[in-house]
Amino acid sequence: MESIEDVMLDCEDKMEKSLVFLQEQFSGVRTGKASPALVENLQIPYYGTPTRLRELANISTPEPRLIVINAYDPTALPEIVKTILAANLGVTPMNDGRVVRVPIPELNEERRTELGKVARRMAEDARIAVRNVRREANDHAKALQKGGTITEDGRDEALKEIQKLTDDSIMTIDDSLKSKDLEIMEV
């Protein structure tokens, strides 16, 4: 049977994973600067198998507004271009037969606002995930108390600790959102 320590560790681990996932999502939201994170997780159909772009090519940013994708297999270049276009990132890749160049255009005010909304939606999804982890951990703590594994005081202490973890995680999400918003709005 699990203990309250197991419940707390599991809760903390899942909340941390939600924060890491949010950071990965934020790295894919375009700002004014070129970043390999913008395209590295795109799934490219490679010989019938969806494969991450970072596994198919070397991705670099030789200039602040340019991403260069050098595929290990040049026959994959047309699929890479097609996938980048389909991802609706607001960029137009250029294939010269050897590499794909992705110039990053300056963001206009309307697009910045739109990207801010996307970032806020991602942050809200992360908050919901953290709250779901809290609910699950609270249910486990209550079940342990009902099963006689811990006392009522132990359960109450666990519920307080779970709420503290939740508050800390949501504060981290809000801080990440603020910094991403500033990054997006930066001209």
Please report, for the chain, the start and end positions of each structural domain, with discontinuous segments joined by +: 4-27+108-185, 36-103
Same topology, domains 4-27+108-185 and 36-103? Answer is: no
Tens-binned pLDDT, residue by residue, of the chain (187 aa): 488 889 899 999 999 999 999 998 887 776 667 788 888 888 999 888 999 988 999 999 998 889 999 999 989 999 999 998 888 777 889 998 899 999 888 778 887 888 888 889 999 999 999 999 999 999 999 999 998 888 889 899 999 999 999 999 999 999 999 998 888 887 6
CA distance 135 to 127: 12
C-alpha to C-alpha distance for 58 and 46, rounded to whole angstroms = 15
Residue 65 to residue 185: CA distance in whole angstroms: 16
Cα separation, 117 vs 138, whole angstroms: 31
Topology (CATH level 3) of domain 36-103: Gyrase A; domain 2 (3.30.1360)
Q: Name the CATH architecture for the domain at 4-27+108-185.
A: Orthogonal Bundle (1.10)
Structural contact between residues 30 and 116, judged by C-beta atoms closer than 8 angstroms: no
Asked whether the CA dihedral 95, 66, 33, 109 is positive or negative, the reply is negative
